[in-house]
Amino acid sequence: MRVGIGYDIHPFSPKRKLILGGVSVPYKSGLSGHSDADVLSHSIADALLGACGERDIGYHFPPDDPKYQGISSLFFLEEISRLLKNKGFVIINLDSTIIAQEPRLSAYIPQMKEKIARTLKIDQTQVGIKATSPEGLGFLGEKKGIACISIVTIRKVSKGGENGIEDI
């Protein structure tokens, strides 16, 4: 078994849509970034990459590469899912916490879980997503952006153990 942790943070940008976990969340601003700036997907991506001993999301998908301009971050998760499979790993579970003063996110979490699970080809019960407030403190509390932290557990399996049950 291996564990990885990921973190991402982006400032708000009034000219963008807010995308979290591949879900469009109605809000006055989106997040600034080269791709869709989906902090949830980015933190999960870095956690998965770290767990399997790879470098970070920016190394694999450079932020100055025009082909990633405005791209859905679910694409990154699809590619990382393939990388994990090719290295013989399966995802056991992932857990993420989105940190934002605004907007309120609880109503969108079921959709986020469904999209993340479908993209990674895992069961929704393997995905935990929570949202918390920074209670008015700092950059996030001043409603200047959103951050997310994620942790994942993966396991190496034998060729016939794609369901994660067989150990090597």
Residue 38 known to bind ligand? no
10 annotated binding-site participant: yes
* Residues whose CB falls within 8 Å of the CB of residue 159, separated by 6 or more in sequence, listed in order: 88
9 labeled part of a ligand binding site: yes
Answer yes or no: is 135 a known binding residue: yes
35 is in an annotated binding site: yes
Q: Count the helix, strand and coil residues of the chain and give each as a percent rounded to the nearest 5.
A: 35, 30, 35
Pick from 72, 71, 62, 77: nearest CA to 119: 77
| 132 labelled ligand-binding | yes
Please check if 8 is assigned to a binding site.
yes
139 is in an annotated binding site: yes
Beta-carbon contacts of residue 64 (< 8 Å; ≥ 6 apart): 34
Query: Known binder of ligand: residue 133?
Result: yes
Q: Is 134 annotated as a binding residue?
A: yes
Helix-helix angle 109-120:73-86, to 10 degrees: 40
Backbone angles phi, psi at 151, to 5 degrees: -135, 140
Of 138, 128, 65, 73, the C-alpha closest to 100 is 138
Binding-site residues for a divalent metal cation, in ranges, read 8, 10, 42
Binding-site residues, in ranges, read 8-10, 34-35, 42, 56-58, 132-135, 139
